[in-house]
């Protein structure tokens, strides 16, 4: 049984947390207002006291509108952002490349300026990182990166949330990633190092993470390792992560990639090199029998689907942070 306290009284939270009887805290703007305190300050103070989950139950506003631009199709990104926006009291507009003039050659900068007149925020899932950056440069509203070929930051926020839920903190943890040096590898490296974890990545020659990301790791030389041997990367790991060998847009390389990555599968033998009880994560969709075996996937299904659920919660936090009106 897990016990949560529903309050905004920080002194009381500190008292019961010191007793070791609570798992987490739920609160809301009304409770915080009764304490006569600033919402963000109270949430930050609670987070400094409690290691477990904290729910602030915040509504962004009842009139926010977010445009969701999808150049790449998705299950989790669309549903989690759309549901999250609804739960926050706003409205999400699904915009495919067929719905926008951007798909017919209108400059991104013009699209950014137009949408800034209509919307409170934009989430975009596309191929080129520059498209996201140009939307942010020329628009006047928040732009959320839902995925590009370069990075997948919202997914990694959910991954880090799931890791923290399991282990309580990031201190002393080793995270390893096995597979293609793709957008997930890039974002996991940056996210993992920024929160203080040791990070090891194993990719075949010719499939390394982006050079810009590898340059970033030089500031964390004692905490990062790039390997070609997946067993070296997995050795002593607390978290083992993988992703599809063939990302969207690389379908023509699928058969060749199966040959290149055949030794980079997350299976029982690889997990034996990790620490006992290591967590397994996969951002989905998973191709069982390729990057991960059916056996390992099902044994760690709860962790993987907690990770998928946390896309919703992490992205709601991002939207509140960027779009909440005082």
Give the pLDDT of residue 326.
Answer: 64
Sheet holding 24-26, edge to edge: 4-6, 24-26, 54-55
Give the pLDDT of residue 56.
Answer: 72
Choosing from 76, 125, 257, 300, the catalytic residue is: 125
CA dihedral sign, ordered 161, 163, 169, 173: negative
Q: Give yes or no for residue 106 having a pLDDT over 90.
A: no
Do the Cβ atoms of 106 and 138 come closer than 8 Å? no
What are residue 229's phi and psi, to 5 degrees?
Answer: -95, 110
Catalytic site includes residue 288: no
Give the pLDDT of residue 103.
Answer: 59
Percentage of the chain exceeding pLDDT 90: 71
Q: How many CA atoms, within 13 angstroms, populate the side-chain half-sphere of residue 274?
A: 26
Do the Cβ atoms of 90 and 62 come closer than 8 Å? yes
Lowest mean pLDDT among 49-58, 112-121, 137-146, 282-291: 49-58
Give the pLDDT of residue 57.
Answer: 63
Choosing from 151, 180, 243, 315, the catalytic residue is: 243
Q: Which residues contact 298 (CB under 8 A, 6 or more apart)?
A: none
Rg value, the chain, Cα = 21
Choosing from 152, 257, 282, 300, the catalytic residue is: 152
Collapsed DSSP state (helix, strand, coil) of residue 125:
strand
Query: What sections of 54-118 are H helices per DSSP?
Result: 76-87, 108-118
Catalytic site includes residue 282: no
Helix or strand run (H / E) with residue 312: helix 301-323
Do the Cβ atoms of 63 and 297 come closer than 8 Å? no
Collapsed DSSP state (helix, strand, coil) of residue 96:
strand
**Domains of the chain listed by start with CATH number:** 4-55 (no CATH), 65-148 (3.40.50.1370), 153-308 (3.40.50.1370)
Tokens found for residue 310: 């946390």
Catalytic site includes residue 283: yes
Choosing from 71, 149, 154, 155, the catalytic residue is: 155
Task: Give the pairing type, strands 4-6 and 224-227.
Answer: unpaired
Catalytic site includes residue 243: yes
Query: What sections of 203-300 are H helices per DSSP?
Result: 211-217, 230-234, 254-260, 268-271, 294-299
Give the pLDDT of residue 64.
Answer: 78
**Pairwise CA distance, residues 306 & 326, whole Å:** 32
172 pLDDT band, cuts 50/70/90, is: very high
Give the pLDDT of residue 74.
Answer: 87
Catalytic site includes residue 99: no
pLDDT tens by residue, 26-78: 887 767 877 888 877 888 889 889 887 887 765 544 447 888 988 888 889 99
Q: How many CA atoms, within 13 angstroms, populate the side-chain half-sphere of residue 189?
A: 32
Catalytic site includes residue 222: no
**Pairwise CA distance, residues 136 & 109, whole Å:** 9
């Amino acid at each position: 049984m897990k016990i949560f306290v529903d309050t905004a009284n920080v002194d009381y939270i500190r008292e019961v947390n010191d007793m070791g009887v609570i798992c987490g805290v739920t609160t809301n703007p009304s409770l915080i207002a009764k304490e006569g305190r600033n919402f963000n300050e109270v949430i930050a103070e609670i987070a400094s006291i409690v290691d477990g989950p904290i729910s602030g139950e915040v509504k962004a506003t009842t009139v926010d509108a977010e445009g969701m631009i999808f150049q790449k199709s998705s299950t989790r990104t669309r549903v989690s952002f759309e549901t999250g926006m609804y739960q926050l009291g706003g409205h999400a507009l699904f915009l495919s490349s067929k719905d926008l003039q951007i798909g017919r050659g209108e400059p991104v900068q013009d699209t950014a300026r137009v949408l800034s007149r209509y919307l409170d925020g934009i989430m975009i899932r596309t191929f080129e990182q520059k498209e996201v950056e140009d939307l942010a440069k020329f628009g006047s509203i928040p732009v959320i990166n839902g995925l590009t070929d370069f990075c997948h930051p919202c997914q990694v926020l959910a991954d880090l949330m799931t890791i923290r839920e399991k282990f309580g903190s990031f201190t002393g943890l080793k995270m390893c990633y096995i597979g293609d040096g793709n957008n997930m590898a890039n974002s996991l490296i940056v996210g993992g190092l920024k929160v203080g974890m040791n990070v090891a990545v194993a990719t075949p020659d010719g499939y390394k993470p982006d050079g810009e990301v590898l340059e970033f790791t030089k500031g964390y030389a004692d905490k990062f390792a790039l390997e070609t041997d997946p067993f070296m990367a997995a050795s002593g790991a607390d978290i083992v992560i993988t992703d599809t060998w063939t990302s969207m847009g690389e379908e023509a390389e699928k058969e060749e990639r199966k040959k290149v990555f055949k030794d980079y599968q997350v299976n029982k033998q690889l997990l034996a090199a990790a620490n006992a009880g290591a967590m397994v994560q996969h951002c989905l969709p998973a191709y069982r029998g390729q990057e991960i075996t059916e056996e390992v996937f099902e044994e760690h299904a709860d962790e993987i689907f907690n990770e998928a659920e946390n896309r919703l919660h992490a992205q709601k936090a991002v939207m509140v942070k960027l779009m909440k009106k005082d």
